[in-house]
Copies of this chain bind each other. A is one copy, B any other.
Amino acid sequence: MTATPTPRVTIKDVAARAGVSKGAVSLAFNHKPGLSEATRDRIFRAARELGWAPNLTARTLAGSRVDVVGLAICRPARLLGLEPFYMEFVSGVESVLTEHSCSLLLRLVRTVEEETGLQESWWRGRQIGGSILVDFRADDPRVAMAQRVGMPVVAVGHPSLTGGLTSVWTDDATAVTEAVRYLAALGHRRIARVGGAAALGHTSIRTAAFDEAAGALALAGAWQVATDFSGDAGARATRSLLAASGADRPTAIVYDNDIMAVAGLSVAAEMGLRVPEDVSLLAWDDSQLCRLTHPTLSAMSHDVHGFGAEVARTLFGVIMGGGVGSHPVATPVLTPRGSTAPPR
């Protein structure tokens, strides 16, 4: 297997076998007019016999459409494996790509700058026909890059962050407000939020919305902590929030993803606090995980798979030259389960 001499079959071989020119084979395989049914058949038969399929690299170079879309994720590799969100998002994206016989070019990067360079070189090198941009931050360099080089992209994030790019987003602000209102309606007056990475745009949006909601409801206590989305960070944050006593301790905590909520659940148990009697917990994203814990986790439920699919569909629209604009998708909907109740 070391350097097995692979006898690559090319269009020339097929042409020779069918007794026609390269051009004819190309016409046949692209279903273009200008060939008789008879020759078309002969060509396809020859191709089948030789087991030939057009070389996509050459096809791409010659200027036709590229059937690969890019996705670069800017997060340490180790952390990524722990987050259900991305895998589910990717699976949603894939579900649509597959219908179009399109593949996903995936790459983990360390910084936004690295991603910006990568995306640009993917595009310039015709490696991709378009790209999905995620994890926007304020003044994101990818906005200008995409516009400068004219790369078809879909930005996953609020329009305020994604500039003039076509965007697909969920209304995080409204969802946060709803979460807080729900807990307040249950009677909670001291509410905390364990947020995600502070650098991310959607984190700031949620943070601002939380502050505003807390103010509007005149809560007696409102805390916010930033984390890196990991379960460990969620556990630490929960531990320090619950370590306080009396009026300094929140009676309800909202998490920015579900892995942290699971961690919070376990910290509460370990500290001898009952959920939801002593403290209410509310997760985000709502992967299957939330239904597997005991008590089950109430969550701001969000169809991440469907979200990914919608992003992919929108990208195809953009690549085809349409679908530009801002595409809000369904706001996460509150799904009460066993981890939220009125405070004692």
**Is A138 an interface residue when CB atoms closer than 8 A count as contact?**
no
Cross-chain contact of A270 among B270, B289, B294 (Cβ < 8 A): B294
A contact set with B: CB distance below 8 Å: 1-6, 8-9, 53-61, 68, 77-78, 80-84, 86-92, 94-95, 97-98, 103-109, 121, 124-127, 146-147, 149-152, 164-166, 230-232, 235, 259, 262-263, 265-266, 269-270, 287-289, 291-294, 296, 304-305, 318, 321-322, 324
Using CB atoms, name the residue of chain B closest to A81.
B88
A294→B321 contact, CB < 8 A: no
**In the complex, chain B residues whose CB is within 8 Å of the CB of A95:** 77-78, 108
Using CB atoms, name the residue of chain B closest to A98.
B108
Using CB atoms, name the residue of chain B closest to A123.
B6
**In the complex, chain B residues whose CB is within 8 Å of the CB of A124:** 8-9, 53, 55
A1→B125 contact, CB < 8 A: no
CA distance A343 to B53 in the complex (A): 61
Number of copies: 2
CA distance A5 to B259 in the complex (A): 44
**In the complex, chain B residues whose CB is within 8 Å of the CB of A80:** 87, 90-91, 94
**In the complex, chain B residues whose CB is within 8 Å of the CB of A59:** 125
Cross-chain contact of A57 among B61, B235, B270 (Cβ < 8 A): B61
